[in-house]
Amino acid sequence: MLDPIEELHFHDRNARLEKRPVGVCALITPFNFPLNLVAHKVAPALATGCPFILKPAEKTPLTALALCELLEQCEPPLPPDSFAVCVALPKDYGPLSLDSSVRHLSFTGSPTVGWQLKSLAQRAHVTLELGGNAASIVCDDWPLEHALKSCCTAAFAYSGQVCISLQRLFLPSDSFQTGIHQLAQLAQQLKRGPLNEAQTDIGPMIDLAAAKRVEQWVNEALADGATLHCGGSRNGTFFEPTVLSGVSHNTKIWQEEVFGPVVCVEAWSDFSEALAAVNDSRWGLQTSVYTHDRSLMEQAWQELEVGQVIIGDATTFRVDEMPYGGVKDSGVGREGLRWAINAMTEPRLLVLPPSNAAERS
């Protein structure tokens, strides 16, 4: 629920500040977490009392529809016309930005669509989460085997179809060869299968077009001199977990968000240069650093151009309470319950007269 009224004081005047619902919210979600990412937007809207229009991904709409069926059964019931679900193709997003009655737009998805919607939504608060090409830096004071297991999960879980999936991995130069060999072994041991089976480690991608795109990007990197340590092949919608090194920084697989089961590995010997290499990207969502050194933690936090720096864990670490979002092309604003609620409210201030106002007149 909204925070209570805040009592303020300005010079000789008392005031009260209240957060009020901003109004109609347009909530647009992607395919990869069709319940969790919907809940990230719907729950704050319910908490603030904002009516909302939910537009789930056209590839995975059923979970959102089922959730809203449950909302229709709430006791006591929600107010009439408090929410609606719109299943539509991306080309039909326009009214959610252009309609002046929409006061807040929250979008998670591709940067091309996200920035276009923001340019159209000139009268609305806007929160964009547009992905990235997440990086991890492993320092030589952290156990290599532990870091590699964590990084393997971060790179290949959900076939890499996570906006904070590990895409660029920086290993210490002294342990680079050992590390990349062990990572490739771990990747090859992942069990392939349907995702509704508990023993499955990696499953298919969302559709054939996505798998073919990843295949094309990997082939482009190999043609440009990259070394393939494992994977690299596609079978229908399944793309093998792939480990590359020597990847040109001019290739799509390095520069863009691959959104597939591919990790590019590079050696580092100077920590400041490793941080600069991470920052050499138009993305800035989340980075992890494996170190016990407090000074390196602080340096990473101060210098990395990302929304979140995770220490000693995977780039994919996220809990619902944390302020989550990116900088640069990764988006604007923050999600997480408290921050999303703030984005869906507007402050209204009441300034009271001085206690001796009547005497002054």
The predicted structure's pLDDT at residue 104: 96
**pLDDT tens by residue, 28-75:** 999 999 999 999 999 999 999 999 999 999 999 999 999 999 999 999
Whether the pLDDT of residue 4 is over 80: the answer is no
Q: Give catalytic residues, as residue numbers.
A: 129, 163
Whether the pLDDT of residue 196 is over 90: the answer is no
Phi, psi dihedral angles at 102 (to 5 degrees): -80, 120
Query: How many of the other CB atoms lie within 10 Å of CB of 100?
Result: 10
312 and 291 Cβ atoms separated by less than 8 Å: yes
Give dist(CA 319, CA 64) in Å, integer: 20
Give dist(CA 215, CA 231) in Å, integer: 10
Question: What structural domains and CATH numbers belong to the chain?
Answer: 6-131+321-350 (3.40.605.10), 134-311 (3.40.309.10)
The predicted structure's pLDDT at residue 1: 54
pLDDT (average), residues 321-349: 95
The rounded mean pLDDT for the chain is 94
The predicted structure's pLDDT at residue 2: 61
- 14 pLDDT band, cuts 50/70/90, is very high
Cβ partners under 8 Å of residue 9, min gap 6: 15
Whether the pLDDT of residue 123 is over 90: the answer is no
Whether the pLDDT of residue 96 is over 60: the answer is yes
- 237 pLDDT band, cuts 50/70/90, is very high
Pairing of β 13-21 and β 6-10: antiparallel
The predicted structure's pLDDT at residue 358: 57
The predicted structure's pLDDT at residue 359: 58
Q: Helix, strand or coil for residue 269?
A: coil
Whether the pLDDT of residue 27 is over 70: the answer is yes
- 253 pLDDT band, cuts 50/70/90, is very high
- 361 pLDDT band, cuts 50/70/90, is low
pLDDT (average), residues 87-95: 81
Residue 293 CB burial class (10 angstroms; 0-12, 13-18, ≥19): middle
**pLDDT tens by residue, 268-304:** 999 999 999 999 999 999 999 999 999 999 999 999 9
Residue 213 CB burial class (10 angstroms; 0-12, 13-18, ≥19): middle
Total-model pTM: 0.93
Whether the pLDDT of residue 94 is over 80: the answer is no
